[in-house]
Amino acid sequence: MAPKGDNVVVPNMKLENLLSMKGGKGASSYANNSQAQARHARSMFHLLKETLDGVQLSSPEEPFVVVDLGCSSGTNTIFMVDAIIKHMTKRYEVSGHEQPEFSAFFSDLPSNDFNTLFQLLPPLTNIDGGSMEECLAADNHRSYFAAGVPGSFYRRLFPARSINLFHSAFSLHWLSQWDHQVPESVLDKTSAAYNEGRVFIHGANEKTTNAYKKQFKSDLSSFLRSRSKEMKKGGSMFLVCLGRTSQDPTDQGGAGLLFGTHFQDAWDDLVQEGFISREKRDSFNIPVYASSLQDFRQVIEAEGSFGINKLELFKGGSPLVVNQPDDAAEVGRALANSCRSVAGVLVDAHIGDQLSEELFLRVERRAANHAKETLEQLQFFHIVASLSFT
């Protein structure tokens, strides 16, 4: 596997959301991450286009409304929304329909850095003057109204029948339970689902894994139900999230390797070395679930509001950004950064900044010691869903 190939964005997408960028994160490292994300977004755009081509065109009296759910605060969401609106503008043009006004909602949890996002937004073109051609030619401007919406996408976010297109990339594998929490039973010592000795469900016992699976399915169902209220007739939805190839949910694939090997071992190190108690470790769990395609399909069909145009599992590649694949130290750092960009804020909150630093040092060291396997084995798979509402 070529680590410089298709980089996958799961951890990096959330970087600005979850990781406070203080100390130890050079601009170059961030620039690298951004490039990987942008490349990935482009590589998936042909799939998104099929969805866009299926959306019913709105009448010119009402706006065409696009939503990015789990937008984070970087330039990727702006890039995607821009590409979506440019594509739709072309469709209106080709079909001879009058152009509607476009409106975009950027949504994420209230803890997201909306200030940064809003400052990255290009200024609005003069909607009232100028033609749509001028709007599109003005590269440093946006041709849509923009708003930020704070809230959990597992509940309602928008008025009924107000949205034409929902887009969500790399967010739906986060469990809800209000802002990324694992099921209660997983943290309950008296429960059979107690995840003793582990910080993720990869390789955990069946009861723990089933508690995750149950919550994932219930979350996805709530997500679909909420969207079905909000969507206009003829609207579409394009979703990308972590998936897995195995039928067995205790094999979490790429996420399993990211959180079930060096990261797990580093927690065990902290226990062994007397930094934290076993209980402290066992009360930490990564609230991520990589679903099988079958389970994902089953939830959509059982919920029943959406038709499935496309539902596939794609090989995404590695989340690691590595310039020198032979440099074990760099591979170690890349894995630790990947891990930290997803879980850093959660770890900080659980054991404090200093112990968190110790933990990720150990992740880095362990990954460096297994650089070759880490590079070869760490692979993400993505569920891509194109749904329509009729």
Position among 5, 50, 53, 150 found at the interface with a copy of itself (CB under 8 A): 150
Question: Considering the complex, what minimum distance in angstroms separates the CB of residue 110 from a copy of itself?
Answer: 5
**C-beta separation of 383 from 313 below 8 A:** yes
- Site for a copy of itself contains 20 (CB under 8 A): no
Question: Considering the complex, what minimum distance in angstroms separates the CB of residue 148 from a copy of itself?
Answer: 4
- Reported residue count of the chain is 390
Position among 45, 79, 114, 314 found at the interface with a copy of itself (CB under 8 A): 114
- Site for a copy of itself contains 45 (CB under 8 A): no
Position among 160, 192, 308, 329 found at the interface with a copy of itself (CB under 8 A): 160
Question: Considering the complex, what minimum distance in angstroms separates the CB of residue 342 from a copy of itself?
Answer: 21
Question: Considering the complex, what minimum distance in angstroms separates the CB of residue 38 from a copy of itself?
Answer: 23
- Site for a copy of itself contains 149 (CB under 8 A): yes
- Site for a copy of itself contains 308 (CB under 8 A): no
**C-beta separation of 380 from 254 below 8 A:** yes
- Site for a copy of itself contains 61 (CB under 8 A): yes
Question: Considering the complex, what minimum distance in angstroms separates the CB of residue 173 from a copy of itself?
Answer: 23
Scan residues 224-243 and list those touching a copy of itself (CB under 8 A): 225-226, 229
Tell me the site size for a copy of itself, rule CB under 8 A: 36
Q: Which residues bind a copy of itself (CB under 8 A)?
A: 61-63, 101, 103, 105, 110-111, 113-115, 118-119, 121, 124, 126-128, 145-151, 155-162, 225-226, 229
